[in-house]
Amino acid sequence: MKSFRLIVLAIFTISLFGCNRLSKEAKEIVGTYYNPEISQTEPVMQLHKDASCVITAIKPGVLTYSVNGKWNVENDSLILELDPSTLTHEGDSTLIGDIPSRVAQHVVGHNDFSLQLENGGVTYLYQRRND
């Protein structure tokens, strides 16, 4: 009976940690990202090493809102699994549209200072900072 409990505990522990494993590619882009055209002080993506993330949309002087979720890189794409129920905001909330629960963007390139993502034929450049 004791060995059965140990096996169940081991399986539970493996599944718990296995769910939050980042791919090798994802581990390379962990960080806090800014879009300097929108804000120098408010990050738009916080990609944490525990596979959690915070995604922020900013309309300067009008609305800022954030959503929490999980993330990873799969098949050269940044995959965001967002939880719309975690929405927080400041400003005119009537401007908030539908929050997608899943977003995929192609990773064009990255280095220690930036991340390039392609979405709908447009490439976006984000600056990485180690705050």
pLDDT reported for residue 19 = 52
Domain assignment present for 8: no
What is the torsional sign of CA 81, 87, 88, 90? Answer: positive
Which structural domain range is residue 52 located in? 23-129
Domain count for the chain, please give it. 1
Question: Is residue 17 a part of any domain in this protein?
Answer: no
Residues 6+ apart with CB under 8 A from 101: 81, 82, 83, 84
pTM (2 d.p.):
0.82
pLDDT at 25: 96
Q: Tell me, what CATH number does 100's domain have? A: 2.40.128.280
State residue 10's pLDDT score.
36
61-106 pLDDT, tens per residue? 899 999 999 999 999 999 999 999 999 999 999 999 999 999 999 9
6 in a domain, yes or no? no
Answer yes or no: is 1 within a domain. Answer: no
pLDDT surpasses 80 at 17: no
pLDDT of res. 13: 35
Distances (CA, A) of 62 to 49, 57, 100: 31, 11, 21
